[in-house]
A and B are shown apart, each in its own frame.
Chain A
């Protein structure tokens, strides 16, 4: 049977060309379907990427290290008093690109009119640069230069709520290590903007030394935030860090930002769902085309059998016909998707739909993000489901009794 593949192939390819209009329509369905899945999925991935990146930039980083109970109770008593030398060493390894140490405790900020509960974050300005958003988000006033600078940086929304202004003084208040209330008047030296309104409302920044002083922490810190080479593949780095610091709580960002992580997972599943829907639609198109192509050629299939072609060879002929359509359509589809992604490279502005999107931290512009395994999945699905769905028409074509097939009026 294999030895007849060449003649079968000739029959198949000429039959594809026999009804050009129908073949072109099928090719269009396959190629636009495939290009559609790839382009839309790349936009969805772009959205996910933004969300993950914003989450990471926010203050999370890729990996965070805390004292054992800090995440359940972010109290000064749950601080890291000493970084184990082993951990110190791992953190210097090339997998880790950036590191920031922070103090981070709940507290209150008061102006003469209002007071609000906030998270007081003590930072080293040099370490935050390129790791979290804060270094690049102070749009009014100035950012800290040193880890012992005076002053406080607050969000624009909080500034509004406190009805105060840059250059004025506010009081920060928290519980220190001896469980005493400790407070301090500080001058507002900078105002930051964030895409999350909640961030502007609930975070205030001191220099790390001043925060430690306020809380009586000496050199203790609340958290270490790390940036690695690949935020999607943290496992090896994580386990390295964990084994070097068994008494500390080392976690990846997905473990900390559980909500965002779940959102991304759902989106990933939705994409697979979307792939399947489109590919099933494509498959129906293929089946429909094949049936049209078969039913107008019943007589011919009878004749081919009369000439000595075996049923399985007839099945092959139909399968190759469909495979040709799938491969050519797939090829065009991939070219279209490259063009599509390229055209969208400058981003799609969704600000028209994005009223209030700021509250959810969604940016106004989506950029497509090509993810190779989505591309492979989409292609394989088209190839696999497309071919699979051709089996039935192919089988039908081989099942006509030659005598009946031939006696049919063409």
Chain B
């Protein structure tokens, strides 16, 4: 029953932004973080957003993930317009469709690695036995077997990021949004993480959207979108 409703809530993961602008106001100063951006991202693609610091990468990811609202413009996940939803509705959309990986401090500190991975499934209403099985499986897949019961504080930065990837993936989202997931990692660890994400992308038909400064990440990407000053300067 539960799974049925979940299935129904799933969206075709093409992301569409139409004339999206975001202006931050700090007192009298207005920062135009995004200027009338329009893009469309296809199902199952591995996309990188790059550009200099302050070009609006994080802002764009946050808007696509419904963590913030645009100042103007429209954002669609498949056919659902999300920029007008309430925060509670947005939470539900994220729960059903979107996984997040941030640069750092991704994990819930009071939960172990396995509990972190199980957390989203628990919110989704997956039963305990299945949760546990899927959690062990995915932690194994990201190379963390044996570390399941450690809390985030007892894991290295790279290990924490792998838990975050596992957690973002395990709930079968349509889209994973990753904001500089490799920024705090050395290149070997970063490469390893990217391999994992790429295989997840292919195996599970998940759309991955990255923001990154990292040349390495860009090498892996199928599509490279470059931002500058809140505008798209190239898209290949």
Q: Answer yes or no: do A and B interact.
A: yes
A311 interface residue per 8 A CB criterion: yes
Q: B108, A402: Cβ atoms under 8 Å? A: no
| Cα separation A310 to B66 with both chains bound (whole Å) | 13
If A3-B125, A7-B122 touch, whether A306 touches B108 (CB-CB below 8 Å) is no
Q: How far is the CB of B101 from chain A (nearest CB, A)?
A: 10
Q: B62, A403: Cβ atoms under 8 Å? A: yes
Chain A: how many interface residues by the 8 Å CB criterion? 30
Q: A306, B92: Cβ atoms under 8 Å? A: no
Q: B105, A299: Cβ atoms under 8 Å? A: yes
| Cα separation A401 to B68 with both chains bound (whole Å) | 7
Q: B95, A307: Cβ atoms under 8 Å? A: yes
Q: B67, A403: Cβ atoms under 8 Å? A: yes
- CB-CB < 8 A to B95: which residues of A? 307-309
B109 interface residue per 8 A CB criterion: yes
- CB-CB < 8 A to B62: which residues of A? 402-403, 406
Q: A404, B68: Cβ atoms under 8 Å? A: yes
Q: A309, B88: Cβ atoms under 8 Å? A: no
Among the 9-residue stretches A11-19, A149-157, A354-362, the one with 4 or more Cβ atoms under 8 Å from chain B is A11-19
Q: B67, A305: Cβ atoms under 8 Å? A: yes
The contact string, 1 if C-beta is below 8 Å from chain B, for chain A 1-23, is 00110110011001101100000
- CB-CB < 8 A to B88: which residues of A? 310-312
Q: A310, B119: Cβ atoms under 8 Å? A: no
A40 interface residue per 8 A CB criterion: no
Q: A14, B102: Cβ atoms under 8 Å? A: no
Chain A facing B: main interface SS: helix
| Cα separation A11 to B116 with both chains bound (whole Å) | 11
Q: How far is the CB of B165 from chain A (nearest CB, A)?
A: 14
Q: B65, A306: Cβ atoms under 8 Å? A: yes
The residues in B between 67 and 91 inclusive whose CB is less than 8 angstroms from any CB of A are 67-68, 87-88, 91
- CB-CB < 8 A to A310: which residues of B? 87-88, 91-92
- CB-CB < 8 A to B68: which residues of A? 401-404
Q: How far is the CB of B111 from chain A (nearest CB, A)?
A: 7
Residue of A whose beta carbon sits closest to that of B87: A311
Residue of B whose beta carbon sits closest to that of A307: B120
- CB-CB < 8 A to B67: which residues of A? 302, 305-306, 401-403, 406
If A311-B87, A311-B88 touch, whether A303 touches B102 (CB-CB below 8 Å) is yes
Residue of B whose beta carbon sits closest to that of A406: B102
B123 interface residue per 8 A CB criterion: yes
B94 interface residue per 8 A CB criterion: yes
Q: Which of A299, A302, A307, A404 contacts B119 (CB under 8 A)?
A: A307
Q: How far is the CB of A311 from chain B (nearest CB, A)?
A: 5
| Cα separation A303 to B106 with both chains bound (whole Å) | 7
Q: A11, B110: Cβ atoms under 8 Å? A: yes
Q: How far is the CB of A190 from chain B (nearest CB, A)?
A: 77
A410 interface residue per 8 A CB criterion: yes
Q: Which of A10, A300, A308, A406 contacts B123 (CB under 8 A)?
A: A308
Q: B123, A309: Cβ atoms under 8 Å? A: yes
Apart from A4-B123, A14-B110, A305-B87: 11 A-B pairs, beta carbons within 8 A: A10-B115, A11-B110, A14-B111, A15-B110, A306-B100, A307-B100, A310-B88, A310-B91, A401-B68, A403-B62, A407-B58
Between-chain CB contacts (< 8 Å), 10 pairs: A302-B67, A303-B108, A305-B87, A307-B119, A308-B96, A309-B91, A309-B95, A310-B87, A310-B88, A311-B87
